[in-house]
Amino acid sequence: MTHILHLDASARPGIAGTDEHGSISRRLTHRFVSDWQARQPDDSVTYRDIGGHPPSFIDQPWIQAAFTPAAQRSSWMVDTLAESDLLVDELVAADILVIGAPLYNFGMPAALKAWVDQVVRLGRTVDYEPSQPQDPFIPLLADRPRHAVILSSRGDAGLGPGGPMAHMNHLEPALTTVLEFIGITRIDRIAVEHQEEGGALLAASIEAAERDVDALVAHLSQRVHAEKQAEPA
């Protein structure tokens, strides 16, 4: 059975096309997960609305607790890391990570960055080996196949790979860096553009993105099923 971790980072609570001022990225993630469950009804989903309920920002007590060896942590340190441990556990359990993330001011929403800071943890999702100075970081989530799907929305156009404004897009590149750093290297990206312009250009971009989502679900469900079949008993 495949397990999906579904994250929505948009500050807009509704779904575009259904709710007034709804989110396009939520529309894409909802479509992905709904299509997946229609194909694979026995698979499970954990949902976390980090746009509506942002994770805590890390602070000095968090840093002190996270960099204290687990066996030496006091009770307040354990309490301080409880939220992070829960978010990490959700990520570790996932076979597929689905992230809905609008492009805000050329980067990821603050709520998504807060989630990133909570889950990139020494000893939990990455290790450090000083005896290997050329490559000291060990991604702990490379222990088995995991996939990530980044579904985003952008106000302008030309922000994708090869586009004239691609150098200004720090959303997907930053997320890709983070995910690969902890061991999730199978990453797919689909985006809607022209949100500021609206009209026919936006409608065509949404239609194209939804076709891509449908095709990705069909392809990825087969691939993940094959990977599950190949796992040792």
Report pLDDT digits (tens) over 20-76.
889 999 999 999 999 999 999 999 999 999 999 999 999 999 999 999 999 999 999
pLDDT at 144: 93
Q: Is 25 assigned a ligand-binding role in the annotation?
A: yes
Specify the CATH number for the domain of residue 211: 3.40.50.360
Q: Is 24 assigned a ligand-binding role in the annotation?
A: yes
How far apart CA 109 and CA 11 sit, in angstroms, is: 8
Question: Region 143-162: what's the mean pLDDT?
Answer: 94
The pTM of this model reads 0.94
Q: Is 23 assigned a ligand-binding role in the annotation?
A: yes
Question: Region 120-139: what's the mean pLDDT?
Answer: 92
pLDDT at 46: 98
pLDDT at 233: 61
> Structural domain tally of the chain?
1
pLDDT at 183: 98
Q: Is the pLDDT of residue 195 over 90?
A: no
pLDDT at 78: 98
Q: Is the pLDDT of residue 3 over 90?
A: yes
How far apart CA 113 and CA 105 sit, in angstroms, is: 13
Q: Which residues pair with 192 in a beta bridge?
A: 153
Burial class for 131, CB neighbours closer than 10 Å (0-12, 13-18, 19+): exposed
Q: pLDDT band at residue 231, thresholds of 50, 70 and 90? A: confident
How far apart CA 228 and CA 103 sit, in angstroms, is: 33
CB 107, CB 170: distance < 8 Å: yes
Q: Is the pLDDT of residue 232 over 90?
A: no
DSSP state at residue 216: H
Domain range enclosing 112: 3-230
